[in-house]
Each structure stands twice: as structure tokens, then as C-alpha cells.
């Protein structure tokens, strides 16, 4: 449908993508976001359904799952696109409290938008993610995620592609992702949960106090390539994992959930890549957060205070 | 001198270095740090000089600059080493308020420790840095920095080395660092300050709201390779930059200051590398911080809300 919000086209400096030659990575300069909505009171939430006298981003009295263009985008067409996904019209809910049916609808929204945005000529990679919690800088509490269409392959994804390529060269017939997942299933000590189609484990070299990777057992490059049964069974596993996160310290966990997907259109890369969800919390203890300070932000060396096997054990024991 | 503190050797799990095969980077697992001293009251500061009835980490009634092994190290011999550098015995001071003479002494401490730690057989790279401000997770307010001896080349440094190698291949006789510095001097729009031996500029693709790189005008691989005059003239420039950071929002800026140095012993790399200081604040506006959320922490894509030329202009106009 046409966007009825009357976004202020053209009054901002458009976002810019700049290349950092010292490390060979793109950086996005997006000045107009400085004015974005910042922790509004609950009765002014722009992601609630519209009600008489209070029009919001969503021109409807209620909704299931809704996707729209971000009013304060870091990337704008034709150089990319930023969308918001509202998981529910219930302001007080969270992803962890969604029903499995609703989680399935969110999965379908991710699939649909990955397909639609992936078909745009400017898109190299589609990124679905959720930031949850004021502790990581979330500016709107309403349960929602975001979808970015990047016009470049992101640095983290490029690293994975390079590693998968090198691995394939060193291990003819082998696949990096398959072998990592198989090793975690073999070891078992870091597995948090699994079902017929997915496994959730704390990675052997976890960066974050509580970090879980959720891989499909049958490797596919992105969400649209998942089978129907895999799409169906993701929600129940993910809800279980999120509820364990919230149970760790007896209060809602601040977390980032990041869908790793293969770049679009590059058949060679897609044949080797495995989509997966990375979900991690910055809370390392009750009342203590993990900060990215000098070693992480300066040198890219993560220091994790929690042994991964111990993190997995604590997540398994929740509930 | 021998360490009189009686550190509890052996009662902890030793730190572990684990390899993340998905991105090809080392992660440090350092469990015992969970118990580290956390924001003690001012009269229990372990970095103050010792006084009767209150022994601290420093067994002396006052000091200029002092360096000692971190009681809660992320890396321990023979796999690395973590040291603390106290910049002054004055608990209420900050680096920005040091005298140029004292800043020169800190430079000498960095040089000495880089030499001493660089000579250890386990060391690949020496990293001098400062975390400043509770906003980035600092647990002790006393003005101090840290020095790590890493047993591997850090991911960020390796990226720079790879970029410098590729640049040298593409531009015979050219050097990536020299050309970046020359381009910034030419453009001038992002230069914040300079003197006869150093230039401070906001990088063209800055990741952080306020980020400055301070490069020596005569390229050297690390701090011990700086000439005497270059060592002398660093402090005045750096104090000026830090005072500008503190002046931006009328209160002490939370910042990370990171010395990039070449790996030790690799002559080929050292011939191409340029040591430099990266200093950046996470404050993007009065009362607002830059968080590393889904795009940064998930995909390695930094989104910067402040245009670098504007950041440079504001830093130039402070005072």
C-alpha cells in the first residue's frame, strides 16, 4: 500500500557510505538520525496501532505483524533500505512472549522481505535483526525488529565467506559451517536446545557472556531457502532460547538477535554459506554489563568473562 | 622490584585463547575477571598511593607514573601479560589535566614497556590503551591506562597489515598510511590540530561520533622507534585534543584511546606500518551515547550519526 505518513523527503542530508582504507570496510554516515525518536512515553509509542487522536506509524486499529520503512533510515534508496518489523500490536509484549503461531508469522515476514529486498538491484545482502533493551541503546520499547538491505557485503559476512572459502580449499569436499555444527553436536557440552530441524549452542569461542547460535540442521544460504517444516519448527526453539535468556537473571535480558544470511545472487558463495541466527546478551551478571572497551573497540579482541561451557550449562538449567 | 602484593597464583582458571573458525579470529576467555574490583568508593581506590592502614597496589606514599601487573589479567604469562599504568597519584586528575612534563613521562613508560614486553618470547604485539569513563564500563576512576602483550596479531591490526600489503602491491613505491595522512593534510577539512611532528584529524570514514587519529608525520612502526623530538611534542598535542573532547559537552568525555603499533619482530610488516593513536568518544550528544547494536555487533557495519567534517569543525571550535 502507499505510505500515508508523508515522510519528509529531501530535507535531510542523504546517508553516505564511506570506505575506510585502513581496514578495508564500509562505514555508514547517517547524520539525520541524530533526531530520531528517543524513549517516548508509552502513550506516545509510534509503533502502537493508531487510535483516534493519536496517529502512529501504523494506520490501523490493530495488527498481527507489520513492516514499514524506517522514518529515520541509515540507508535510503537507491543505496539501500531500512525497514521496521513490529512483532505484535501489544506494546507490553516481547518476542519471548509471542505465541508460536505469531513467531511463525514473523518468520514469514522475514522470508518475504528478504525476497523482496533481495530482488532490488542495489541489494547485496539482507539483514534481519532485533535490538532489545535500553542497555543496548534501544530507543523504542515496543517489540520490534529491523531489516536492512545493504548495498555491500558486510565486514562480518565477508570474513565468514573468506573463512569458508579457505576451509573448502584446505578440506576438499568439506564445508566450514557443516563441520562446525557437527563438532558442536558431537561435543554436546555447549548445546542448549535442539529439535528435528535446528540446534542452538553456545559457540566454542563465544565473544559475549551469553551467546547462542541457532543453525538449521540442513544447510541453506538464507531464510527463503528454508523448507516449510524448518520454518515451522524455528519458532518453538527460538522462544525456548529467549525464555532461557530472560530467566538467567530473573528479568528481561538485553539482547541482540542477528540473522546471518548469504549475499544475494552470488551462486558460488550461496552454495557454501549457512544462514543462522546469532543471539547474545550484554548482561554478564546481575547488574553488570559487558562493555566493548579498549581491547574490543580498538583491536577487535573480545574478552569474554564467562566460559562458554558454563554459559551453556546455565542456559540449560534455566526453568 | 619484586611484586609484594601476594597475587593469588594458581587459584583461578588460567585465561584461554580460543579460535573462532567462522571469522578466523582469536577470542580470550578470562573467567576469573568476573570478580574484579567494581567501582569502589574513592577512599578504597586500589590505585592511590599506599597510606598507613590502607595498603593499595602501589607500596609507596606517592608516585609519578607507575606500572604493575594487572591483578585481574585477561592474559597471563607465558601466554601474554596485562599491565596497569597509573598516570598520576592524584585520584581526581585525568590525562587531560596532566602537565606536559607528566605526559612526557607517560610516553616514556609506554616506550619502555613496549620494549620490555616486545622482547618476551610470547609477545606478538604490544597494545597501550586507556578506557576512560563509567559510560564505557570503566571500573576504577583513578586515571590509568593499560598495556597488553598479545601472543597473536590482533584482528584489527591484521586488517591494517592486509590493507597495507594490498596497497603496496597496487601502488608500487606507495604506502597506505603515508597516503592517508597526506590526503587528510591536503583536504584539511578534518584536521583538528597539528604541530611539527604530529597531526590529529577526524578520519574520512570515522566510525565514532567523535573520533580522532593522531599520526606522526615521520612514519615509524611503534613508539620505541619515535625520535626524541617526536616523543617530546606528542604530549602537548594530545593534551590539546583531550581538552577539546572534554569541552564538547561541558563535561568529561568518556573515551577510548588506542595505540596502534606494528607486531614485533616482523621486519617486512614493520617497514610498512605506521604507529598512531586512535581516540574516540562514545558520546554523540549531551545525554546520548553511541551504542554498538545490531548492525555494529552483528555485521561489523558502523553507523555514525555525525558527519566527520562536522565533528572536526566542532572539535576545532572548542575553547
ipTM of this predicted structure: 0.94
Q: Chain A within 8 Å of B196 (Cβ-Cβ)? A: no
Distances (CA, A) of A304 to A180, A252, B233, B301: 20, 21, 37, 21
Q: What is the arithmetic mean of pLDDT over A18-35? A: 90
User: What is the reported pLDDT for B1?
Assistant: 53
pLDDT value at A154 more than 80:
yes
Interface of A with B in 222-251 (CB under 8 A): none
pLDDT value at A150 more than 90:
yes
- Give the C-alpha separation, B237 to A187, whole Å: 53
What one-character DSSP code corresponds to residue A152? S
Within 13 Å, how many C-alpha atoms sit on residue A51's CB side? 9
Three-class SS of chain B: CCCCCCCCCCCCCCCEEEEECCCCEEEEECHHHHHCCCCCCHHHCCCCECECCECCCECCCCCCCEEEECCCCCCCCCCCEEEEEECCCCCCCCHHHCCHHHHHHHHHHHHHHHHHHHCCCCCCEEEEEEEECHHHCCCCCCCEEEEEEECCCCHHHHHHHHHHHHHHHHCCCCCHHHHHHHHHHHHCCCEEEECCCEEEECCCCCCCCEEEEEEECCCCCCHHHCCHHHHHHHHHHHHHHHHHHHHHCCCCCCEEEEEECCCCCCHHHHHHCCCEEEEEECEEECCEECCCCHHHHHHCCCEECCCHHHHHHHHHHCC
With bands split at pLDDT 50, 70 and 90, how would you rate the model's confidence at A8?
Answer: low
Q: What is the arithmetic mean of pLDDT over A162-180? A: 98
Query: Do residues B91 and B160 make contact, with C-beta atoms less than 8 angstroms apart?
Result: no
Query: Do residues B68 and B54 make contact, with C-beta atoms less than 8 angstroms apart?
Result: no
Q: Chain A within 8 Å of B30 (Cβ-Cβ)? A: yes
pLDDT value at A145 more than 90:
yes
Among B205, B276, B302, the strongest candidate for a mutation testing the A interface, having the largest count of A CBs within 10 A, is: B205
Q: Calculate the CA dihedral of residues A219, A224, A226, A232 and round it to 10 degrees.
A: 150
User: What is the reported pLDDT for B179?
Assistant: 98
Q: Chain A within 8 Å of B74 (Cβ-Cβ)? A: yes
Q: What is the arithmetic mean of pLDDT over A42-64? A: 88
8 Å CB contact of A295 and B148: yes
Within 13 Å, how many C-alpha atoms sit on residue B293's CB side? 21
Chain A hits for B28, Cβ within 8 Å: 295, 301-304
Q: Chain B within 8 Å of A171 (Cβ-Cβ)? A: no
Query: Do residues B181 and B200 make contact, with C-beta atoms less than 8 angstroms apart?
Result: no
- Give the C-alpha separation, A215 to A194, whole Å: 10
8 Å CB contact of A34 and B285: yes
Chain B hits for A16, Cβ within 8 Å: 307
- CB proximity list for A284: less than 8 A, separation 6 or greater: A209, A290, A305, A306, B34
Q: Is B144 a catalytic residue?
A: yes
User: What is the reported pLDDT for A12?
Assistant: 58
| Buried b or exposed e, range A262-285, using 16+ CB within 10 angstroms | bbbeeeebbebbbbbbbbbbbbbe
Instruction: Return the residue of A nearest to B148 by Cα.
Output: A295
pTM of the model: 0.94
pLDDT value at B4 more than 80:
no
User: What is the reported pLDDT for B270?
Assistant: 98
CA distance B100 to chain A (A): 24
8 Å CB contact of B163 and A21: yes
Chain B hits for A150, Cβ within 8 Å: 299, 301
- Give the C-alpha separation, A149 to A126, whole Å: 5
- Give the C-alpha separation, A300 to B157, whole Å: 8
Q: What are the two backbone dihedrals, phi and then psi, of residue A143, each rounded to the nearest 5 degrees?
A: -60, 115
Q: What is the arithmetic mean of pLDDT over A121-140? A: 93
List the beta bridge partners of residue B125: B150
Query: Chain-wide mean pLDDT for chain A?
Result: 93
Chain A hits for B297, Cβ within 8 Å: 256, 258, 280, 292
Q: Of the ranges A249-253, A272-276, B236-240, B295-299, which one carries the lowest mean pLDDT score? A: A249-253
Cell numbers linked to B285: 550528544
Query: To which residue does cell 584536521 refer?
Result: B191
Within 13 Å, how many C-alpha atoms sit on residue A300's CB side? 20
What would the pLDDT profile of B204-256 be if each residue is shown by its tens digit? 999 999 999 999 999 999 999 999 999 999 999 999 999 999 999 999 999 99
Distances (CA, A) of A94 to A138, B285, B296: 13, 29, 23
User: What is the reported pLDDT for A20?
Assistant: 98
Q: Chain A within 8 Å of B10 (Cβ-Cβ)? A: no
8 Å CB contact of A298 and B278: yes
Taking domain B16-150, whether its CATH number is 3.40.50.11540 is answered by no
Query: Do residues B103 and B235 make contact, with C-beta atoms less than 8 angstroms apart?
Result: yes
What would the pLDDT profile of B45-82 be if each residue is shown by its tens digit? 899 999 888 889 988 888 889 999 998 899 999 999 99
Q: What are the two backbone dihedrals, phi and then psi, of residue A82, each rounded to the nearest 5 degrees?
A: -125, 125
Query: Which residues make up the CATH 3.30.428.10 domain(s) of chain B?
Result: 16-150, 155-317
Query: Do residues B210 and B177 make contact, with C-beta atoms less than 8 angstroms apart?
Result: no
Instruction: Report cis status (omega within 30 of 0) of the bond before A78.
Output: yes
Residue of B79, B141, B144, B260 marked active site: B144
Instruction: Return the residue of A nearest to B297 by Cα.
Output: A256
- Give the C-alpha separation, A62 to A57, whole Å: 12
CA distance A32 to chain B (A): 7
pLDDT value at B158 more than 60:
yes
With bands split at pLDDT 50, 70 and 90, how would you rate the model's confidence at B2?
Answer: low
With bands split at pLDDT 50, 70 and 90, how would you rate the model's confidence at B166?
Answer: very high
Is the pLDDT higher at A247 or at A62? A247
Specify the 3-state DSSP secondary structure of A31.
helix
User: What is the reported pLDDT for B287?
Assistant: 85
8 Å CB contact of A300 and B167: no
8 Å CB contact of A154 and B299: yes
Strand pairing category for B303-304 and A25-29: parallel
Q: Chain A within 8 Å of B139 (Cβ-Cβ)? A: no
Percentage above 90 pLDDT, chain B? 79
Terminus-to-terminus CA distance in chain A, angstroms?
43
pLDDT value at B7 more than 70:
no
pLDDT value at A34 more than 70:
no
Distances (CA, A) of B73 to B16, B31, B67, B189: 11, 10, 14, 41
Among B24, B277, B294, the strongest candidate for a mutation testing the A interface, having the largest count of A CBs within 10 A, is: B294
- Give the C-alpha separation, A302 to B20, whole Å: 11
- Give the C-alpha separation, B186 to B179, whole Å: 10
pLDDT value at B98 more than 70:
yes
Cell numbers linked to B30: 578470562
Query: Chain-wide mean pLDDT for chain B?
Result: 93
Query: Do residues A15 and A74 make contact, with C-beta atoms less than 8 angstroms apart?
Result: yes
> Please, what is the Cα angle at B289 between B138 and A136, to 5 degrees?
80
Q: Chain B within 8 Å of A293 (Cβ-Cβ)? A: yes
- Give the C-alpha separation, A66 to A278, whole Å: 23
8 Å CB contact of B288 and A38: yes
- Give the C-alpha separation, A97 to A246, whole Å: 10
Chain B hits for A289, Cβ within 8 Å: 137
Q: Which helix (H) or strand (E) holds A145?
A: strand A144-150
Is the pLDDT higher at B7 or at B162? B162
Chain B hits for A187, Cβ within 8 Å: none
Chain A hits for B131, Cβ within 8 Å: 293-294
Query: To which residue does cell 617486512 refer?
Result: B268
Q: Chain A within 8 Å of B187 (Cβ-Cβ)? A: no
What DSSP assignment string belongs to A220-233? -SSGGGS-HHHHHH
Cβ neighbours, 10 Å, residue B281: 25
Interface of B with A in 78-107 (CB under 8 A): none
User: What is the reported pLDDT for A146?
Assistant: 97
- Catalytically active residues of A, by annotation: 144
The CATH number of the structural domain formed by A12-319 is 3.30.428.10
What would the pLDDT profile of A186-238 be if each residue is shown by its tens digit? 999 999 999 999 999 999 999 999 999 999 999 999 999 999 999 999 999 99
Instruction: Return the residue of A nearest to B138 by Cα.
Output: A293
What would the pLDDT profile of B108-156 be if each residue is shown by its tens digit? 999 999 999 999 999 999 999 999 998 888 888 899 999 999 999 999 9
Instruction: Return the residue of A nearest to B151 by Cα.
Output: A301
pLDDT value at A70 more than 70:
yes
* Fold entry, domain B155-317: HIT family, subunit A (3.30.428)
What DSSP assignment string belongs to A237-293? HHHHHHHHHHHHTTSPPPEEEEEE-PPSS-HHHHHH---EEEEEESEEETTEE----
Residue pairs between chains A and B whose CB atoms are closer than 8 Å: 225
Terminus-to-terminus CA distance in chain B, angstroms?
43
Amino acid at each position: 500500500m502507499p505510505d500515508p505518513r508523508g515522510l519528509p523527503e529531501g530535507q535531510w542530508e542523504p546517508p553516505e557510505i564511506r570506505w575506510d582504507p585502513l581496514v578495508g570496510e564500509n562505514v555508514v554516515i547517517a547524520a539525520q538520525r541524530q533526531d530520531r525518536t528517543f524513549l517516548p512515553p508509552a502513550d506516545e509509542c509510534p509503533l502502537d496501532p493508531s487510535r483516534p487522536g493519536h496517529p502512529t506509524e501504523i494506520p490501523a486499529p490493530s495488527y498481527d505483524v507489520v513492516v514499514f520503512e524506517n522514518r529515520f533510515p541509515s540507508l535510503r534508496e537507491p543505496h539501500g533500505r531500512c525497514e521496521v518489523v513490529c512483532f505484535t500490536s501489544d506494546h507490553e509484549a516481547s518476542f519471548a512472549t509471542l505465541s508460536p503461531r505469531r513467531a511463525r508469522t514473523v518468520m514469514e515476514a522475514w522470508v518475504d522481505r528478504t525476497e523482496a529486498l533481495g530482488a532490488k538491484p542495489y541489494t547485496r545482502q539482507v539483514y534481519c535483526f532485533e535490538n532489545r533493551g535500553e542497555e543496548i541503546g534501544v530507543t523504542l520499547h515496543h517489540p520490534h525488529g529491523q531489516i536492512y538491505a545493504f548495498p555491500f557485503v558486510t565486514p562480518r559476512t565477508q570474513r565468514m565467506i573468506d573463512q569458508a572459502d579457505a576451509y573448502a580449499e584446505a578440506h576438499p569436499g568439506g564445508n566450514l559451517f557443516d563441520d562446525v555444527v557437527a563438532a558442536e553436536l558431537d561435543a554436546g557440552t555447549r548445546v542448549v536446545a535442539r529439535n528435528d530441524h535446528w540446534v542452538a549452542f553456545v559457540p566454542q569461542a563465544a565473544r559475549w557472556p551469553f551467546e547462542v547460535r541457532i543453525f538449521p540442521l540442513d544447510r541453506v544460504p538464507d531464510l527463503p531457502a528454508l523448507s516449510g517444516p524448518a520454518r515451522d519448527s524455528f519458532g518453538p526453539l527460538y522462544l525456548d532460547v529467549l525464555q532461557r535468556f530472560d530467566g538467567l537473571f530473573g528479568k528481561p535480558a538485553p539482547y541482540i538477535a542477528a540473522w546471518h544470511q548469504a549475499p544475494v545472487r552470488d551462486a558460488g558463495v550461496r552454495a557454501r554459506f549457512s544462514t543462522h541466527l546469532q543471539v547474545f546478551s550484554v548482561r554478564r551478571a546481575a547488574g553488570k554489563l559487558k562493555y566493548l572497551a579498549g581491547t574490543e573497540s580498538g583491536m577487535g579482541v573480545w574478552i569474554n568473562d564467562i566460559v562458554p561451557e558454563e554459559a551453556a550449562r546455565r542456559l540449560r538449567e534455566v526453568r
